[in-house]
Copies of this chain bind each other. A is one copy, B any other.
Amino acid sequence: MLRTRQNPALFIKVKRDGGVHSEAQINAFIRDYMAGQVTDYQMSAWLMAALLRGLDDAETTALTQAMLHSGKVLKLASVRAPKIDKHSTGGVGDKISICLGPLVAACGVAVPMISGRGLGHTGGTLDKLEAIRGYRVALDARTFERVVREVGVSMIGQTAELAPADRMMYALRDVTGTVESVPLIVASILSKKLAEGIDGLVFDVKAGRGAFMKDARSARVLARALVRTAARAGKRVTALITDMSVPIGRSVGNALETREAIAVLENEGPSDTRELTVALGVEMLLLGRVVTTRVQAKQKLERALADGSALERFERMLKAHGGDVKVVKDPSRLGSARERLPLFSLRSGYVADCDAHALGLSALALGAGRMQSGDPVDHTAGIELAKVVGERVEKGEPLAFVHAASKALARSELARVRAAFSIQSTRPRPKKRVIERLIP
């Protein structure tokens, strides 16, 4: 088909001057970019103009679709169950996917989940899965579909085939100061998620100092844009805005978090990790239409945790991915850090606060995360919280344990971990993880 090339400079000028792009113009721009006819320097100039001038809902949808169709779009036609995924905007101690996926699968909703790696102070599901010996995060599309069909859940990493435009654009945004744009974030997230071939999607939009969005207001702006754009793309969608001012559960660090996720699947684990898992599970079962009420959904999820069917799904997923299934019975097989240094409380009282951002940075420094994409990760490093917000601690009791490859490294983070805790004499009011629920 003969087509006229769009002049990229004119396209950029439209956005620069506050104009609005048509769907066809956005398609041409992304298509020409993928074909090498729009250069990286033209793309980055446009990204900056888009960040500063904004994109409206129609433009955001068009950009999402253009990025989505830059690569392969999975159909998962052989999967009969409703296909629902969850996406979190990233936090500290966020191991929810690992327990949520198998749990929801046990309730009859298929979860084709493509996850990312940790970067900066936030962790990534892939790194947590890779704490399990043998677990392969790279499956080809056919195997991924088979695992989703047979097990009900598969968790893999981003592949080169899906939404390649997003990968190229994200690499540019990362080094050109153009990450912090709601429409660009929405298009980046959704173009990858829509490539999974899902029927619906739950967003866990984190708010608070440990999150990308530091306050509930900006989290709400992002959540609304995600929900609107996903709905325009024809997907069933819900978003929960959840608190990320304190870490989730009692662990920060890959193997430590995987262990905690397994505990939840064993019907144990910290109450807030469990609470958040069930809250997101309720939304997924509702979107999957395997239940009609929230009460039904909650009962179904709690039954799956209690009767071992969620844990059984997890074991089947591990097996399908080549992972060491024995970690379920023997979590010590996840490995442990050479050093586990206790941090003792200097006073008695109640834990009133625990700074998720500070602990995220500490975990990063201990080796659990990466400063730059491609850096190696120490799966055993991290922080184990002996006491969490609302709990009583006596002077001299451990507040936390710092896990690291050497005593010197562990010691170097003690002060930061200590400063993350606030102890007060009165019991603080309990805080809920879920702040708000948004639907289209």
Contacts and interface: CB of A to CB of B under 8 A. Distances in A.
Contacts of A47: 45
Contact of A176 (B12, B51, B177): B12
Interface string A32-49: 000000011111111111
Given A49-B52, A52-B16, A9 B174 contact: yes
A177 B45 contact: yes
B48 A8 contact: no
A13 interface: yes
Copies of this protein in the assembly total 2
Contacts of A176: 9, 12, 41-42, 45
Interface string A92-134: 0000000000000000000000000000000000000000000
A13 B177 contact: yes
Interface in A345-377: none
Contacts of A177: 9-10, 12-13, 16, 45, 49
Contacts of A39: 40-41, 175
A172 interface: yes
Contact of A175 (B8, B49, B52, B172): B8
B9 A45 contact: no
B44 A42 contact: yes
A8 B48 CA distance: 14
A65 interface: no
A178 interface: yes
A49 B51 CA distance: 10
A178 B48 CA distance: 11
A29 to B, nearest CB: 12
A41 B174 CA distance: 11
Interface string A7-29: 01110110010000000000000
A12 B12 CA distance: 18
11 contacts: A9-B175, A9-B176, A12-B177, A16-B48, A16-B178, A39-B175, A41-B41, A41-B44, A41-B175, A45-B176, A48-B49
Closest 5 CB pairs of A and B: A12-B177, A45-B176, A48-B48, A41-B44, A13-B177
Given A39-B175, A40-B40, A48-B48, 7 more contacts: A9-B175, A16-B51, A42-B44, A45-B45, A45-B47, A45-B48, A45-B176
